[in-house]
Structure formats: C-alpha cells, structure tokens
Amino acid sequence: MKKEILQKLTENPSDYVSGEALSTVLGVSRTAIWKTINDLKEDGYIIESSSKKGYRLSPDSDVVNSFEIGNGLRTKVFGRNVVHFAEVDSTNNYAKKIALEGSEEGTLVTADYQTSGRGRLGRNWDSHDKKGVWMSLILRPDIPFEEIQTITLAASVAVVKALKEVADIETGIKWPNDIIINGKKVCGILVEMNMEIDRINFLVLGIGLNVNQQPNDFPEEIRDKATSLRISIEQSLGLQKPLKRSELIRVILLKFEEIYDKVICGAYEEIISEWEKYSLTLGKEVSMTYKDKQCTGIAEGITKDGKLIVRSGDGTVREVLSGEVSVRGLLGYV
Amino acid sequence: MKKEILQKLTENPSDYVSGEALSTVLGVSRTAIWKTINDLKEDGYIIESSSKKGYRLSPDSDVVNSFEIGNGLRTKVFGRNVVHFAEVDSTNNYAKKIALEGSEEGTLVTADYQTSGRGRLGRNWDSHDKKGVWMSLILRPDIPFEEIQTITLAASVAVVKALKEVADIETGIKWPNDIIINGKKVCGILVEMNMEIDRINFLVLGIGLNVNQQPNDFPEEIRDKATSLRISIEQSLGLQKPLKRSELIRVILLKFEEIYDKVICGAYEEIISEWEKYSLTLGKEVSMTYKDKQCTGIAEGITKDGKLIVRSGDGTVREVLSGEVSVRGLLGYV
C-alpha cells in the first residue's frame, strides 16, 4: 500500500490528494492511509498535510529506495533490481555477499548510511550521513582481467557525464577514477572483483558521491580535499540547490550502462579517448610509489588497457596499473 | 568431553582404555562415557568395545575434523583454524563467505561431502562421498596479481610432494595444476580470488583429492579420466591400502606452507623449476583454445609468472595464462 500511495502522490506533484480519495481508490480506511503517510515520513519523504485538502508530496523530498530509483529509470539492466538499506556496513560488502550467492548483473545496492564505508586501498570513506550517494553495482563482464581497468575508467567517465547532465557541473578525473571539482574530490570509485585465474566471476563497482554535504559535514582533516556537489554549486552560482540522490543514481546508471556496453564490445580506444578528454592527470607532474620507491615524473598518457604512463626526469618510462598516484595541484599535493 | 575421550583413545592406539578409567579421569558417569563413544562412532570413528576391556580406537578410522587435522600438525599458520562440515555445498564457497567476513590467512574449510563441488571453469567436481579430501584454504598474500599463478603452481608442487611422502606415490602435473597418475586425474586445484585492481584481498585455494574411491565410485563417464590414490596403490603394489584423509591434509598443509613462504619472499624461479621437475606437459603436444580459436602446438616452457609457452607448427609462439589446455596422452586426449 505504501507504494500505491506513493504512486498517487508522485503522479500529482503539485496538487493535494485527499485522504478520502486515497481511501476510496485503495479500499482501506482513512486511518490506514494516515498511518501509511506516517510510515512514508519515517522513510524520509516530506509530505505536507492539510485536514481540508489532504496530502501533498514536497518536491524537497530526497529519498533513495527502489521505487524512487525505478521511477523514470531508462536503463535495460542496471538498477532494475535494487536492495536499499537505511544503514549497512558497506554497500560493496553487501553486494559481494549477494553476488557470491548468485545475484545477477545490474543488481544495485544502495544505502542512506554506511557504518564502515571504504575507499580504495582499504581506506575509510566518510559516508555516515544521508547526504551522499552510496551505491554498489554487480557486474558479470565476460572480458579478460587485463581489461577490467577499462571498466573503472568507463565508470568515472559515466559519473562525469551524469554530473554534467543532472547538475550542470563540470568535473574532471584524477587517474584512475577520482572525480574532482576545483582540486577537491567529490566522488570515489572502488572496484572489487571475484575471479579465477582465467575467469571473472563478478565485479562489484562501488561509487561514493558527495551530494548535499555542507563544509561542516566533513571532518576537519579532509575539508581541504573533499567537496560536495552542493558546495560547488553554491561556490559557482551562489545559490543553495540541494540535489536528489535518486535522480543522480538513475542518470549515473544510464550513462554507465551505455558506456559499459561499449567496453563489453571491445571499444577500449573510444573509452580511453573519452577518459582523456576529462583527465586532470595527463601532462601533469605526478608523484607515486612504484615497487616500494617514491618517484615523480610527468604523466604522459594511458595505455590501451588503462595503465598510466609516467616519464621521470632521467627519461625512465614506467607504466602504473594503480596504487597511489598524487597529481600536483589536486587534493592538497602542491 | 568428546575431545578428551578422543585424546585418551588416541594416546593409546593399540590398547583398550577401560570405561571405568575414563569415567574416573573425566569425572563423569560410565553412561555418559558410553553415550559419547556412540557420538564418536556417529562421527565416523571405528571404536571396538569389549565389556571387559573397554574401548579401543581402530587404526582403520578415517575421520576428518579439527582434532584429527590438528593432531600432529607441524605448520605455523595453515590449518591452525579448521571449519569442518559433514556436508556443505562447496568448501570454496564457504571459505569465500568467511573470508569476506574477515577470516584469517591459513583458515581451512573441509567437508566429508560437497553437494555442489566445483572444478575450474565452473565445472562440476564429483565429491559426493567421504572418500576424498575436499579442502579450501584462505590466503592473504601481499603480492601482485601477475604472481598469483605462481601460488597455484606452488600448490600443485606441494600436493605432489605430500603424496610422495604419505603414500609413496609418484605423480606428475598437467599444466597448470592438475595432479596426474597414469594419465588420469587424481587431484584438481581451484583458486578463486577477491581483489581490487591493485590489491589482493584474499585467495581461496581449493583442493579436491581422490583418496579412497574404488573404480565403481566414479560415474562411468569419467572412469577413463579419474583415479584415486587407493586405485593406483592397488594397481602398482597389488594391495588394498586405504589412506587417512586427515594425514594427507596435514602433510599437504605443511608442504604447501613451506613453499608458499618462498613464493611470498619472491622465490619465483625456484618454484617454477620445482614445478618443471614434475611437469607432464613440457615437451608434449597440447591443444588449446586461444582467443576463441582451437590451436595445437608443443608446450615449450613456462614464463616467470607461470604462463605456458606454446609453439605451433607454423612457428607462432603463444603464452597462455590458463583456460583449457589438453595434453596429448593425458585425461583421454589421444
């Protein structure tokens, strides 16, 4: 019944729907309607109620769940099956668990809060509030291991495109797949995989995107490195414009599905050249750990399979698959 | 109490231990002793009982559990923590699940029966009986992905050495890690991993070893390709000699731990040359699927990171990481 009431309210975005009408259409008592409205409020919906006019869904509601994500979703496979948590340890962990049990490609796990969200290399990722998109997608690509990096690059391109479409924000990519605004990180991507030597069983692609945080929402020690879409909109346009997480998820899923289908068909060069368009890394000075040594150099390009090519002052050229690479001018590396 | 009685019986392998003595030492009634003896019989122990002399553990008992595996185990880490199932879907599946939840390196999962045991490339592995060793070991090596194949090669070397030590049987290895006796497969190894692009979270190394099966225990369609230790002992020595699964597990763990420590220290060349000693593949004609095409050639060697080098008739040299490789003369490929 929750879904049916939600459907009615969503269909009439600016109008009140009377409790009586709802009770007649759904064939339940007005008390039952009232209780369900309260449940919806608990879920985070902002519902205005007037004893005369009935109920109206506020356009300020920002709720993530399978109804909201599915409402207007234009993908074929991605996000057609959603598991949403008010709170979970980490969406990637849960996705890995259900993928082991056989969950299909495109299954999406989302959460309002992650109690132990993680970034790359085992780091914490601050995701203790409802102000970000914390999502993990299960993928079962039939490609060789060497080409998985292309999927992570593709995901970063998809996020850049989605942010442009939904929020009209220009972002760039720090290799391999951090999304950057004004030198600060707004989104991180963590890919985990389960495989045999010669066969990928599944990937879990986790995306952590800071959406509606204000500066104070970030712990002090990362304020010079982290930002949110809302902060950057305020900085560039001078206005407070909260964004809808479900809409962002929908558009990210669509953009990513389009580009993922290309990866699967082997269009690696197209993906790489799209990635290069948004790169904030190429031509820059980078510092990295390579075989346990710290070295610096200029990022000259990326290989067909997504390795970063770095030329040091002494002419040595190294290809890096991942690990820790700092780019001068980004995330506090000056 | 089960463990304490077992301890007493094990300490006196050829003697009877009287129920009275047990009841005095353990401070419980003789009925309690009798009940526990029955529980042990249910677990698979063969216990001779005489109303006058008491109880004696038969040397024919073949039981797998953490007590039996731990009894005489000389490893440092491997198998120090054992989870044993009378029946489980697949020891690899269970190991992956607990590894996700944080189980430590060296944790071992064993089973008497697997209801859906698997081999490489998603194939079934017949393990519906108590006559084989079905074990999975959790590993958390800090090495690059490229070197994981070395671990699988190392595991096959460890099994060859263990079989020599426990059963005095000479076996060989079909690339990458099938253990072969008289052209038939006696043991398969399946490695699954959970990783990020640049970081291994964990590996699960599954070993399926046919121990006490008789020819009739194998489904007819694999009888020309599969064998057991017992069958091959009978063929070569003409005697029926059942083997103890727990002893095999202990020795495999020890041999593997020794060689695994070398892999972690980077002694790849030593591992490769040990593997080559037992190889039944090098110098042979092989048939394989390479980039969706079937091709044949001579297996010339393996690379430092464990790829098979195959030279075709037209001189083309290919390096294969894994997939399906048939070796002429083995497993029914004539």
Chain B touched by A103 (CB under 8 Å):
no
Position A129 confidence tier, pLDDT thresholds 50, 70, 90? confident
The alpha carbon of residue A292 is apart from the nearest alpha carbon of chain B, in Å, by 12
Chain B touched by A121 (CB under 8 Å):
yes
Please give the C-alpha separations between residue B305 and each of A204, B97, B188, in angstroms, as whole numbers. Answer: 27, 28, 20
- By C-alpha distance, the chain B residue nearest A306 is B197
**Nearby residues of B277 by Cβ (< 8 Å), 6 or more positions away:** none
Chain A touched by B176 (CB under 8 Å):
yes
Residue B196 to residue A193, Cβ atoms within 8 A:
yes
pLDDT at A122 over 80: no
pLDDT of residue A24: 92
Closest CA to A127 of A78, A174, A82, A92: A92
Task: Using DSSP bridges, classify how beta strands B132-139 and A317-320 pair: parallel, antiparallel or unpaired.
Answer: unpaired
**Nearby residues of B265 by Cβ (< 8 Å), 6 or more positions away:** none
pLDDT at A121 over 60: no
- By C-alpha distance, the chain B residue nearest A119 is B196
- B279 DSSP assignment: B
Interior CA angle at A162 toward A120 and A135, to 5°?
A: 40
In angstroms, how far apart are the furthest CA atoms of chain A?
79
pLDDT at A264 over 70: yes
Structurally, what CATH architecture does the domain formed by B2-57 represent?
Answer: Orthogonal Bundle (1.10)
pLDDT of residue B120: 62
Q: Which CATH number is associated with domain B285-327?
A: 2.30.30.100
Delimit the CATH 2.30.30.100 region(s) of chain B: 285-327
Chain B touched by A100 (CB under 8 Å):
yes
Q: B127: burial class by Cβ within 10 Å (0-12, 13-18, 19+)?
A: buried
Instruction: Give A181's Cβ-side CA count (13 Å radius).
Output: 25
The alpha carbon of residue B128 is apart from the nearest alpha carbon of chain A, in Å, by 21
pLDDT of residue B323: 67
Given A100, A152, A197, which is nearest B96 (Cβ)?
A100
**H or E stretch at A41:** helix A30-42
pLDDT of residue B123: 64
> Rounded distance, CA A2 to CA B44, Å?
54
Residue A193 to residue B198, Cβ atoms within 8 A:
no
Position A237 confidence tier, pLDDT thresholds 50, 70, 90? confident
| Cβ-contact B190, B92 below 8 angstroms | yes
Average pLDDT, chain A: 91
Residue of A151 and B292 predicted with greater confidence: A151
Chain A touched by B142 (CB under 8 Å):
no
pLDDT of residue B290: 75
Residue stretches of chain B with pLDDT short of 70:
119-125, 127-128, 323
A288 DSSP β-pair partners: A295, A325
Chain A touched by B114 (CB under 8 Å):
no
Residue A197 to residue B100, Cβ atoms within 8 A:
no
The alpha carbon of residue A35 is apart from the nearest alpha carbon of chain B, in Å, by 39
Which residues of chain B lie closer than 8 angstroms to A192, CB-CB? 194-196, 201
Q: Which CATH number is associated with domain B66-278?
A: 3.30.930.10
φ, ψ for residue B216, nearest 5 deg: -70, -15
**Nearby residues of B4 by Cβ (< 8 Å), 6 or more positions away:** B26
Residue B194 to residue A197, Cβ atoms within 8 A:
no
Residue A192 to residue B196, Cβ atoms within 8 A:
yes
pLDDT at A317 over 60: yes
| Cβ-contact B119, B188 below 8 angstroms | yes
Position A128 confidence tier, pLDDT thresholds 50, 70, 90? low
Chains A and B: how many Cβ contacts under 8 Å?
65
Which residues of chain B lie closer than 8 angstroms to A196, CB-CB? 120-121, 190-193, 322
What value does the mean pLDDT take over residues A297-322? 89
> Rounded distance, CA A121 to CA A323, Å?
8
